[in-house]
């Protein structure tokens, strides 16, 4: 079981709170990769990354057929946030059994705390020509992280977290 | 069919570099940075990769050439696009020589290989109703007009 560092937990928050814009990388079951930027991000326990399901299309379809994902920092990189987190994801949508468990993360706990993310952490820092007019959240993607490697120039591929 | 890129898209790709995503045939994704990027032709983008960067993606890429990438840094929000295509790792030839030399000169990267991506798909990733809209069916003029209605900012190239 991995354990996020303090720096990782600080980075894996919404940009408006000093966190990061992240890329969520998924793949279809037959290996068609997909990469999409995400703003609503948080950590849960010591080894889970949470991401709001607001506008997910291909990402959502991929997770439903293949749980293997990678999460990496898109911006800012220059603060030492050179990590790629790899693990297994599920999209905990409304309607999931409330006792659903994903590697120790409970659906009731997750949806109660993060189910109305736009209200809890509104995207005040997002530029007006990018911000969405209305956020409709359908669930929370929970990534159970199993390992992480570096993408820092000169150290690419080195393990920074290992289960 | 050729995927057209606007001048603004080219500027963002080349100024910021990109996050490159590949996957094994079984669907396990891997990501590295393409710190030096150059649009080498219409619908082709080349990335200079150091040895350790290439080593992360080479095993998957050798079995599955599909590549997806997004613009790094502020480009993740300001250049809200996803680019998809097929990738080939070049270790010799004129494209390799040119890109490797430029990457060394401009960013000090010792390129062990060059990932040449031939684009096949282009998507808008702006959050909201346009998320996931496919753009590669547009003519160059249509695509340019579509983008100009939304964004005009072009970044300065990074050191």
- Interval A113-128: pLDDT, tens: 999 999 999 999 888 8
Amino acid B158: pLDDT: 65
Number of neighbours of residue A35 by Cβ within 10 angstroms: 29
Give domain status of residue A1, yes or no: no
Q: Which of A33, A126, A153 sits opposite B23 (nearest CB)?
A: A33
Domain range for residue A142? 6-162
Element (H, E) at A145: strand A139-150
Cβ neighbours for A84, distance < 8 A, ≥ 6 positions apart: A70, A71, A72, A148, A149, A150, A151, B30, B31
Give domain status of residue A74, yes or no: yes
Say which CATH class B7-148 falls into: mainly beta
As given in the structure block, the two tokens for residue B103 are 């990457």
Amino acid B159: pLDDT: 60
Q: How far is B37 from chain A (nearest CA, A)?
A: 15
Q: Residue A28: which of A62, A67, A75 has the closest Cα?
A: A62
The total number of structural domains in chain A stands at: 1
ipTM above 0.85, yes or no: yes
Give domain status of residue A76, yes or no: yes
Contact across the interface for B66 and A33, Cβ inside 8 Å: yes
| B chain contacts of residue A38, beta-carbon cutoff 8 Å | none
- Interval A62-107: pLDDT, tens: 999 999 999 999 999 988 999 999 999 999 999 999 999 999 999 9
Distance CA B26, CA B80 (A): 28
Q: Which of A23, A26, A57 sits opposite B70 (nearest CB)?
A: A23
Contact across the interface for B23 and A31, Cβ inside 8 Å: yes
Range in A8-12, A69-73, A124-128, B8-12 the model is least confident about: A124-128
| B chain contacts of residue A79, beta-carbon cutoff 8 Å | none
Q: How far is B114 from chain A (nearest CA, A)?
A: 16
- Which CATH number goes with the domain that contains A75? 2.30.110.10
Find the mean pLDDT for residues A49-55: 95
Chain B residue with minimum CA distance to A32: B66
């Amino acid at each position: 079981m991995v354990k996020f560092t303090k720096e990782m937990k600080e980075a894996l928050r919404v940009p408006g709170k000093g966190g990061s814009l992240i890329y969520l990388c998924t793949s279809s079951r037959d290996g068609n990769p997909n990469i999409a930027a995400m703003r609503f991000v948080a950590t849960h326990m010591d080894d889970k990354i949470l991401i709001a399901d607001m506008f997910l299309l291909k990402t959502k379809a991929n997770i439903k057929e293949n749980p293997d994902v990678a999460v990496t920092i898109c911006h800012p990189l220059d603060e030492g946030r050179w990590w790629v987190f790899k693990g297994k994801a599920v999209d905990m949508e409304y309607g999931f059994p409330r006792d659903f468990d994903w590697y120790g993360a409970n659906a009731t706990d997750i949806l109660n705390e993060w189910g109305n993310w736009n209200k809890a952490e509104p995207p005040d820092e997002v530029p007006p020509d990018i911000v969405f007019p209305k956020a409709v959240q359908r669930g929370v993607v929970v990534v159970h992280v199993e390992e992480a490697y570096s993408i820092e120039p000169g150290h690419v591929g080195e393990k920074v977290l290992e289960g | 069919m050729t995927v057209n890129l606007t001048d603004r898209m080219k500027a963002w790709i080349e100024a910021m570099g990109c996050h490159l995503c590949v996957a094994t045939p079984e669907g396990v994704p891997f990501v590295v940075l393409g710190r030096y990027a150059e649009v080498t032709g219409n619908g082709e983008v080349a990335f200079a990769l150091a040895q350790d960067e290439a080593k992360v993606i080479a095993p998957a890429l050798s079995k599955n050439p599909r590549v997806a990438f997004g613009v790094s840094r502020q480009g993740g929000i300001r250049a809200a696009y996803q680019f998809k295509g097929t990738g080939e790792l070049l270790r010799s030839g004129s494209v390799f020589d040119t890109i490797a030399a430029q990457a060394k000169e401009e960013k000090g990267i010792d390129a062990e290989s060059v990932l040449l991506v031939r684009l096949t798909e282009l998507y808008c990733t702006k959050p909201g109703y346009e998320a996931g809209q496919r753009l590669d069916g547009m003519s160059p003029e249509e695509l340019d007009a579509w983008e100009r209605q939304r964004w005009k900012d072009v970044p300065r190239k990074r050191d």
